[in-house]
Structure 1
Amino acid sequence: MGGIDSPTDTDLLLATYKGGSHLTSDIQNGGTIMIKVNAMGDACPIPIVKTKNAIRELQGGGTVETRVDNEIAVQNLTKMANQKGYGVHSEKISDNEFKVTMTVNAEAAQAAADSAIATVEEENCPVIPAGKKNIVVVISSNQMGSGEEELGKSLLKGFIYALSQQDTLPSTILFYNSGAYITSEESASIEDLKSLEAQGVEILTCGTCLNFYGLTDKLQVGEVTNMYVIAEKMTQADLIVQP
């Protein structure tokens, strides 16, 4: 089972995002593989992403044990397991430590691995394949939702990271109004946006907005666009997503 003990490119990306290593593996009685995932201290959606990547490593089936530090993460992992048809059991170790164990059969593990391969092939294609939706994500603010600003900014950062980990990526992400801050200097999402751009996602920021906020010379990712193109992208989209 080469590749489990050594971190993959994705593992390194996640470790960089968190600031530490997270993946170990053991051979259980009977020869099945157990992969242990350390997601302690990780914000949503990182525990889900790490666990999915571990399941893809199983190939022949086995067990993935994920440790998290909050009950919301336990609920999210349990929901994912139920949706995928995995066996799942959770255990509270202490007030700030929980263990979620998923049992994945060989067929389900192979399906997860095949999904990862298909995703890579799609992302390397420069055009939208026939039958694939033209998804446009619209970000019109530097925070997600209304309410506490600090929370809104944290939610938007998490959304962009989660977007970069989806099996189906958007064709275009449009930034306008204060959303222009997200593609500019000091944004916490630059690396995630660069990752999306490298996978073929078009990143466009309103030039008028950059100018209004004094960010014209501070754009860090993607290209400057205008309202005509923004309107064109939105009217031609099969699906518009606005967090």
Structure 2
Amino acid sequence: MRTNKWNILVLVLFGLTACSKKVDNIQLPPPAEPVKGKLAKISFDSGAYDSLYYSVDGALIKIRSVVDPTAGNSITYSFDYNTQGKLTRIYNDQGEEFRYTYSGTELQEVGLYISGIKTRHKGFTYNNGILTSTHTYADVLSNPNDQDFLDMFTYTYYPDGNLKSETSYSVHPTTGWPVKEVTITYSDYDNKYNPDDIFKQLPYFFGHTFFKNNARTRIVKNEKTGVESTYLFTYTYNQSTLPLTRKFEYYGSGNWLEGTCIYSYY
């Protein structure tokens, strides 16, 4: 779950990563509220997994992502909160730090710091309290001719608050204007809890819910070529209606893929 895993284009792939059916051997705390029922682990077919850890009051305090267990490749993210319970920063064991700034109750800016130096930041635009777009800017340029405006994302929602679509924009190197790149449309939601939403929120959107429920269809459109790819998802649930498994099927560009992942809870 490295930084680039959390951007929009890789998030499409994250939702499609095949997942492991191995026995979950995470060390679980005693089943006590408010930790009980929270997501503990997602296991992948490759042997990779994400483990989540919480404070006694239920706040997320650490995510350990093991990308390649054989090689021992992993990254750990830690979370700091203020006395009001708002996230103030996320930092990892590879020198990256994300600092959160708020305006009232709304997230205003998230800055990325590497070895203590602010390298870029993301700003947020709201309409009646609903997040509608984000803009990313560079704070450190490799040369004076670089654009400080890096990218833009726009969002639309269904009436129930679930994400309907998101569109990514690059920046034209000459004009500096946004250029539409990819649109992802989500549909056919179930009415069950979405355990993957936390990974959509990280690292720039912590506290903003994109997916209350699970979208069973995603259509990814390349805005430059017009080519669309369809991703279908099916879920199984436990007696508490929490998702236990997620199976995906991918149809596009003459390819067909499928895979299943497993969720474990405290």
- Give me the TM-score of the superposition, normalised by structure 1: 0.26
Look at both structures and tell me which one has the larger radius of gyration over its CA atoms.
1
Higher helix share: 1
